[in-house]
């Protein structure tokens, strides 16, 4: 498969089995990630949805009408509330080791398209 590398160094090729193995190194680290049940994840989605709705209501006067409508509409129409997890390969670190099987990765959890993305995009514009 084609993966991305860290530091904007472009694409790299990695075997799918290796990519999955490298991702699981991060995902199975219970100090960083928790694996909720499907029910727990969906409950968290609904909690977040209600929290964003409440925030919108509380701050309606501070948000321009178009932004408020955008966030509200996206909140209502979002069918895939979760972020997207992927890896960036630190190919610039390869020279520090003789073991080519030890290419470190940087985990990324993108919120693009997720439930909180519209609010995050608005906050980013405000900052």
What is the rounded distance in angstroms from the CA atom of residue 87 to the CA atom of residue 5?
Answer: 8
> Domain residues of the chain, as ranges?
2-126
Ranges of the chain with pLDDT below 50: 95
- pLDDT tens digit sequence for 44-60: 999 999 999 999 999 99
According to DSSP, the residues that pair with 11 across neighbouring strands are: 4
What pLDDT is attached to residue 95? 47
Predicted TM-score (pTM) of this structure: 0.75
- pLDDT tens digit sequence for 75-93: 999 888 999 999 999 987 7
């Amino acid at each position: 498969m084609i993966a991305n590398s860290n530091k904007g160094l472009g694409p790299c090729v990695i075997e799918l089995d290796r990519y999955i193995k490298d991702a699981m190194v991060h995902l199975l680290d219970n100090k960083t990630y928790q694996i909720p049940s499907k029910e727990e994840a969906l409950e968290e989605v609904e909690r977040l949805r209600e929290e964003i709705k409440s925030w919108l209501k509380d701050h309606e006067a501070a948000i321009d009408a178009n932004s408020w409508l955008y966030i509200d509409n996206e909140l209502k129409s979002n069918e895939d509330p979760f972020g997207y997890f992927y890896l960036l390969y630190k190919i610039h670190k390869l020279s520090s080791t003789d073991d080519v099987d030890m290419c470190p990765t940087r985990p990324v959890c993108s919120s693009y398209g997720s439930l909180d993305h519209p609010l995050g995009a608005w906050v980013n514009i405000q900052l």
